[in-house]
Amino acid sequence: MIETMITKTKKYLPLKITEIAWDGTIFQLYGSNWNFTTLSAWRISTKNQMIFGCYDSDSTSSTHFLKNLKIIDIEIQDALLKIDPVFILSNDQRIEIFSTDTFEPWTFYIDGLEMFIATPSEIPTFDPLGAAAQPQML
C-alpha cells in the first residue's frame, strides 16, 4: 500500500527537484538520486488554494518554478482510495497526483529502494525487489 511506500521513502527526505519535464502528457520530476513519472492528472496547490493544474493552458510553461525546491514530506491524496501521493514542497505548496489510468499511473524511484508503481486496479501489495527482481506494486 502507499502507506508502506511513504514510510520507506521518508528517511530519504528532503528530495531536491533538479529537473522538471511536462510536455502536456508526461510529468516528470528528477533529483540526483530519484525520479517520479506520471501520465495522470496533477495540480499545484496550497492547503486551501489551487495554484494551477496540468490542463491549464499555460501549464507547460508554469512548472519551471519547481526547480530547486525540495520535497519535504509525502502524504496520501485520498483517505478512501489510497493510491496517489501528495508531495509537500519546501515553499509550502503541494504537488497532488490523481490517477487517471488503471495501469501504472505513476512510478517513483529512489536509489537504495525498489521502484514503486501504482496499480489502482489491483489489490495493493508490496513485493520488495529481491531474487525475483520484480517492481513493488502499490
The CATH number given to 1-118 is: 3.20.190
Per-residue pLDDT tens, the chain, 138 aa: give them: 688 899 999 999 999 999 999 999 999 999 999 999 999 999 999 989 999 999 999 998 889 999 999 999 999 998 888 889 999 999 999 999 999 877 778 999 999 998 998 876 554 444 444 434 455 555
136, 126 Cβ separation under 8 angstroms: yes
Instruction: Provide the CB-side half-sphere exposure for 11 (13 A, CA).
Output: 7
pLDDT of residue 121: 58
Question: What predicted TM-score, i.e. pTM, was given to this entire model?
Answer: 0.84
Q: What is the DSSP letter of 134?
A: P
